[in-house]
């Protein structure tokens, strides 16, 4: 886990996430996560297992615009 400049872990442990989620929902603050219906959702329980998605762009076909 990486640390922010303040020295805090980048991803809080599960107990801290639960406490933070409860505080966010109590004050109707967005968490940055949404459920399938578009409502604000809690931090996922497996967030500490997530890894960045590193995919290569698909090659363009001849004559295809670059955007």
Whether 3 contacts 10, CB under 8 Å = yes
Distance, in Å, from the CA atom of 2 to the CA atom of 48, rounded to the nearest integer, reads 11
Mean pLDDT for the stretch of residues 15-39: 80
Dmax (CA) for the chain in angstroms is 54
DSSP category for residue 15: H
- Provide the whole-model pTM: 0.39
Q: Assess whether pLDDT exceeds 70 at residue 9.
A: no
Residue 21 three-state SS: helix
Q: What is the pLDDT of residue 67?
A: 64
Q: Assess whether pLDDT exceeds 60 at residue 25.
A: yes
Please state, for a pLDDT cut of 90, what percent of the chain lies above it. 0
DSSP category for residue 40: B
């Amino acid at each position: 886990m990486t640390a922010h400049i303040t020295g805090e872990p980048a991803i809080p442990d599960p107990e801290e996430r639960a406490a933070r989620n409860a505080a966010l929902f109590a004050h109707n603050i967005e968490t940055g996560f949404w459920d399938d219906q578009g409502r604000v959702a809690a931090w996922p329980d497996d967030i500490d297992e997530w890894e960045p998605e590193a995919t290569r762009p698909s090659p363009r076909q001849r004559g295809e615009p670059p955007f």
